[in-house]
Amino acid sequence: MDQSETLAPSRADPAADAPLNVMISKLSRRASLTPADMDAIQALPVSVRTLESATYLVREGDPPDMCSVLISGFVYRQKSTGNGDRQIMGVHIPGDLLDLHNLYLDLADHSVQMLTRGDVGFITRARMQALMAERPNVARALMIDLMCDASILREGVLNIGRRNSRTRLAHLLCEVAMRLEAQGLAGEGGYELPMTQEQLADALALTPVHVNRTLKSLADDGLITRSKRQVTFPDYERLREVGDFNPRYLHLQHQRTGALAE
Amino acid sequence: MDQSETLAPSRADPAADAPLNVMISKLSRRASLTPADMDAIQALPVSVRTLESATYLVREGDPPDMCSVLISGFVYRQKSTGNGDRQIMGVHIPGDLLDLHNLYLDLADHSVQMLTRGDVGFITRARMQALMAERPNVARALMIDLMCDASILREGVLNIGRRNSRTRLAHLLCEVAMRLEAQGLAGEGGYELPMTQEQLADALALTPVHVNRTLKSLADDGLITRSKRQVTFPDYERLREVGDFNPRYLHLQHQRTGALAE
DNA sequence: CGTACGTTTGATCTTTCTCAATAATGGTGG
DNA sequence: CCACCATTATTGAGAAAGATCAAACGTACG
């Protein structure tokens, strides 16, 4: 497999040498990949670009041609109502596949946008489809990833639909904490969440003003500490309770997903 | 492929002879299946059972072993918060695959339950996985189905998160109308929606009382007519506007999804 | 050091919820 | 077919969570 589409990696950045490592490590967490599978992924012609905050990766209504993988930074997906109200449907962290959704669909049904500056690896749809055809095991891993994304989305529906602002916010904080931790990017003690309160509001289906008050209420109760965008959890256990957070839906434990299972 | 697990079809019911026809017709709408693909699906050992309203197909936390296809009736998927509040994440109509979600996951992250009495075809996970391995084209069709489900879910997040009760309800009515129509089960003029107002409330993240009032408000404005569970739309176009309904997210037009595309 | 963006706070308003009671409706056994 | 029971639908009155409007305060960055 040629690497002709790969941009010359800058020697300074370790991720640039093997930009898809972070994705492999994510997929491996929930599905077993053989060394050959991993090699096949590594061999994928990937073009890595550094994108500024707020850059669109996919715009609702566009015909998607690429598949992308987040290498560093944060991304969110989003869609808007007819009168312009925005809803953020999910936040992505390094390792996440960003638009597997569009792999077989004509037109993007939602937008994907950089939340911070970061590096994104682009792979053509055709390449990705070819990989899946050649390596059913990789195809399975990708499907599992897709299914887990859907599960996270379902929890999001529950969160927005049936929990009050405090619980809702606490739940989001716990989810991001656990996902970052699973990816080896943060501990349970806290992390930097690079979202403005307005973005948090759009993710939680609240108002920025109300997010501010809810944040304050959590802080007043000693459940979180904030300085700038850094959030720390003095008592993660209690925050989990307040956030009604049961991580089952993240499917971070895998048992049946072995390479040759069933 | 043997049919040993297939229950003896009752000659009275046309669906019983080829229970998976409805699923084939649904998959074909968004992905091209070859005659051989269709035969392979038809040959799947499927056990059809008639289930009473409210029967669970999958319960949150269970290890799922089957894949199921809705043949007749309605189904919904649902999950609950720690304090028992329920959120309905989606409603399914005949032809829908009900738990492809669980095909590779250990434990169900949500429950799937009969909304009405109906027939469900069960296929073992192992069989389904084998089919996907043998027929990449079918695997692709199933992935597309999964992706469309996810798209519907995203619109659900937007609907619940960012639209008021009137728009939200109108949107749901439009969506079900269009999905039923696409499946050849109803016209745009109206249909029977077998949901109680309490279930509607759980689907829309509202209160039953408020659903009742919102329904009344739509009826007062001549946007819908109700008798029992039958809903009719005197002016579908206007209802679509009120419901901010743009059917793109249903991905009912397919262009790139041909059997040998790309 | 000024401008733009983000945060914080107060006051008030609206949508939706809650509680409660009554009226239909549907199904069941006699 | 009727009376009864359980479920569902409808309506009213009051409460509450969260939204809206508006202003002030911080902070980062050119």
Q: With an 8 Å Cβ cutoff, is B80 touching chain A?
A: yes
Task: Indicate whether A31 pLDDT > 50.
Answer: yes
Q: Within 7 Å: CB of B162 and strand D?
A: no
Q: Within 7 Å: CB of B198 and strand D?
A: yes
Least confident of A21-25, A73-77, B12-16: B12-16
pLDDT band at A186 (very low <50, low <70, confident <90, very high): confident
Q: Within 7 Å: CB of A225 and strand C?
A: no
Q: Chain B partners of A61 at a C-beta cutoff of 8 Å?
A: 248
CA distances from A152 to A84, A252, B39, B153 (A): 25, 12, 35, 11
Q: Which residue is nearest nucleotide C6, judged by alpha carbon to C1' distance?
A: A196
Say whether A101 and B31 touch across the interface (CB within 8 A). no
pLDDT higher at B150 or A190: B150
Task: Indicate whether A191 pLDDT > 70.
Answer: yes
Which residues, in sequence order, are bridge partners of residue A49?
A120
Task: Indicate whether B131 pLDDT > 90.
Answer: yes
Note which residues in 18-47 of chain B have CB less than 8 A from chain A: 31
DSSP characters over B196-208: -HHHHHHHHTS-H
Q: With an 8 Å Cβ cutoff, is A129 touching chain B?
A: yes
Average pLDDT over residues B112-131: 94
Average pLDDT over residues A40-62: 93
Q: Among all strands, which nt has the closest C1' to A164 (CA)?
A: D17
Torsion sign over Cα A154, A156, A160, A162: positive
With a pLDDT cut of 70, the percent of chain A lying above it is 90
Nearest Cα of chain A lies from the Cα of B109 at a distance, in angstroms, of 5
| Å separating the CA of residue B86 from the C1' of nucleotide D29 | 47
| Å separating the CA of residue A187 from the C1' of nucleotide C17 | 38
- Burial letters for B153-171: b for 16+ Cβ neighbours within 10 Å, e otherwise? bbbbbbbbbbbebbbbbbb
Residue A32 CA to residue A94 CA, distance in Å, equals: 20
Nearest to B47 by CA among B118, B119, B132: B119
- pTM beyond 0.75: yes
Q: Mind listing the pLDDT tens digit for each residue in A59-92?
A: 999 998 899 999 999 999 999 999 999 999 999 9
> Chain B residue closest to A134 (CA)?
B136
DSSP characters over A35-69: HHHHHHHHTS--EEEEE-TT-EEE-TTPPP-EEEE
Q: Which residue is nearest nucleotide C14, judged by alpha carbon to C1' distance?
A: B164
Residue A232 is encoded by which pair of tokens? 């720390």
pLDDT band at A14 (very low <50, low <70, confident <90, very high): very low
Q: What count of other Cβ atoms lies within 10 Å of the Cβ of residue B66?
A: 20
Average pLDDT over residues A211-236: 92
pLDDT band at A240 (very low <50, low <70, confident <90, very high): very high
pLDDT band at B190 (very low <50, low <70, confident <90, very high): confident
| Å separating the CA of residue A201 from the C1' of nucleotide C14 | 19
User: Which of A101, A105, A140 is the mutation pick for testing B, counting most B CBs within 10 A?
Assistant: A105
pLDDT higher at B2 or B190: B190
Nearest Cα of chain A lies from the Cα of B159 at a distance, in angstroms, of 8
| Chain A 85..124 CB hits on strand D (< 7 A) | none
Nearest to B119 by CA among B221, B12, B203: B12
Nearest Cα of chain A lies from the Cα of B76 at a distance, in angstroms, of 13
pLDDT for residue A177:
93
Nearest Cα of chain A lies from the Cα of B208 at a distance, in angstroms, of 14
Sheet holding B225-227, edge to edge: B190-192, B230-232, B225-227
Nearest to A191 by CA among A201, A178, A206: A178
Q: With an 8 Å Cβ cutoff, is A152 touching chain B?
A: no
pLDDT for residue A257:
44
Q: Chain A partners of B126 at a C-beta cutoff of 8 Å?
A: 262
Q: Nearest Cβ partner of B157 from A151, A157, A246?
A: A157
Q: Within 7 Å: CB of B205 and strand C?
A: yes
Q: Nearest Cβ partner of A109 from B101, B103, B151?
A: B151
Range list of β-strands (E), B143-219: 190-192
pLDDT band at B256 (very low <50, low <70, confident <90, very high): very low
Q: With an 8 Å Cβ cutoff, is B259 touching chain A?
A: no
Nearest Cα of chain A lies from the Cα of B30 at a distance, in angstroms, of 9
With a pLDDT cut of 70, the percent of chain B lying above it is 90
- Confirm if A194 and A236 have CB atoms less than 8 A apart: no
pLDDT for residue B17:
67
Say whether A109 and B257 touch across the interface (CB within 8 A). no
pLDDT for residue B1:
41
Torsion sign over Cα A186, A189, A192, A197: positive
Note which residues in 190-229 of chain B have CB less than 8 A from chain A: 205
> Chain B residue closest to A138 (CA)?
B133
Q: Within 7 Å: CB of A162 and strand C?
A: no
Calculate ∠ Cα A117-A156-B243, nearest 5°.
Answer: 100
- Confirm if A42 and A20 have CB atoms less than 8 A apart: yes
Q: Mind listing the pLDDT tens digit for each residue in A128-142?
A: 999 998 998 999 999
- H/E stretch holding A138 reads helix A136-162
Nearest Cα of chain B lies from the Cα of A126 at a distance, in angstroms, of 6
Q: Within 7 Å: CB of B216 and strand D?
A: yes
Sheet holding B66-72, edge to edge: B47-51, B118-124, B66-72
φ, ψ of residue B34 in degrees (nearest 5): -80, 160
Average pLDDT over residues B117-143: 93
Q: Within 7 Å: CB of B213 and strand D?
A: yes
Which residues, in sequence order, are bridge partners of residue A50?
A119
- Confirm if B242 and B172 have CB atoms less than 8 A apart: no
DSSP characters over B226-250: EETTEEE-TTHHHHHHHTT--GGGG
Residue B221 is encoded by which pair of tokens? 């404005």
Q: Chain A partners of B81 at a C-beta cutoff of 8 Å?
A: 158, 162-163, 167, 244
Nearest to A162 by CA among A244, A60, A253, A94: A244
